[in-house]
Structure 1
């Protein structure tokens, strides 16, 4: 695992398209295009790749966002996307990338790292339900169980409020989910997870 360089951009794009496009090619294109725009907008705080031999097989991005706390607007971090080539999944690459992303976000000095994702996967890798701390997702279309956070030493109790994504996420309609995916996940999480 190592920090990504601009020379990796094409390989990262291919990993994202393959990982997110395995079930739906359109989704792979959507996420890859979004990440390219996040990078081009200068919003990246950290970008890491996992390499086997000379091949980039995994990628994680950490980017800028804000927490709209009552006292002040707080600069925080967001983990998205996390991608592993389909034929390398299940080998611990995603877990290693999540750990590296957490450490990169901690090193950035931001008080917290947020994400929207599977609580079954991320919950065992250091993330907690953000709602438990008075934190609200950027979109009401984010299932409560999917909105998660890792808080760092710089986090203070007054840092509660709504997460605010840069406009690129809204232009790509990438905050929360739309039905029928939203309804499916809300039902799934309600059946599989204990309340917070």
Structure 2
């Protein structure tokens, strides 16, 4: 397996990974990725792929958001989404993508990374519930345990506050859980 930054030629394969991995929610996630990709610059954000036998089989995206801290706004990253082709689950591809991405972001001096996800999975990388670390989630639709953060070496104690997602997360309605029965 090779881990590398996404290339423009990978776009159709990355889209397919998300469509396959997220089932009924795949179209929303794939469209979110297409929009978020335009926000990534060489210095800010990261889109990684896992390639196996010349085929893109996994993807992780880290994009810029803001932490509304008492002292000032702080540039942070959000890990979303992370996907691996279903037939390759439980083989370490997702873990490799997350670890690789966190290593790159730490080298770049990013202080914090946030995500919405399963605490049982993401705790292995050092993610912990955000509220216990002094952070507030950007939406009440995010289950408390799912809102997680990891402090990287450039984090400073004053960096607490509310996560403010980048606009594409709101545009694609990809924040938290919707109640399907709500009107």
Q: More relative contact order in 1 or in 2 (CA 8 Å, sep 6+)? A: 2
Structure 2 unaligned spans of 5+: none
* Residue 30 (1) aligns with residue 32 (2): no
1:129 aligned partner:
129
Give the alignment's Cα RMSD to 1 decimal: 1.5
Q: How does 1:1-196 map to 2 (within 5 A)?
A: 1-21=3-23, 24=24, 27-42=25-40, 45-179=45-179
CA–CA distance in structure 2, aligned partners of residues 180 and 95 of structure 1? 31
Shift of 1:14: 0.7
Maintained 8 Å contact 1:83/1:94: yes
Provide Cα deviations, 1:129-151, integer angstroms capped at 9, x if missing partner.
Answer: 11112101111111111111110
Maintained 8 Å contact 2:37/2:47: no
| CA separation of 1:119 and 1:180: change in aligned 2, threshold 3 A | farther
Q: What is the count of residue pairs matched by the alignment? A: 177
Structure 1 unaligned spans of 5+: 182-196
CA–CA distance in structure 1, aligned partners of residues 20 and 96 of structure 2? 19
Provide Cα deviations, 1:29-67, integer angstroms capped at 9, x if missing partner.
Answer: 110001101112447611111111110011100000000
Maintained 8 Å contact 1:117/1:146: yes
Flag the structure with higher helix content.
Answer: 1
CA–CA distance in structure 2, aligned partners of residues 116 and 64 of structure 1? 15
Does 130-139 or 39-48 show the bigger shift? Answer: 39-48
CA–CA distance in structure 2, aligned partners of residues 116 and 108 of structure 1? 22
Q: Name the TM-score, length of structure 1 as normaliser.
A: 0.86
Maintained 8 Å contact 1:64/1:75: yes
CA–CA distance in structure 2, aligned partners of residues 176 and 107 of structure 1? 29
SS in 1 for 2:45: strand
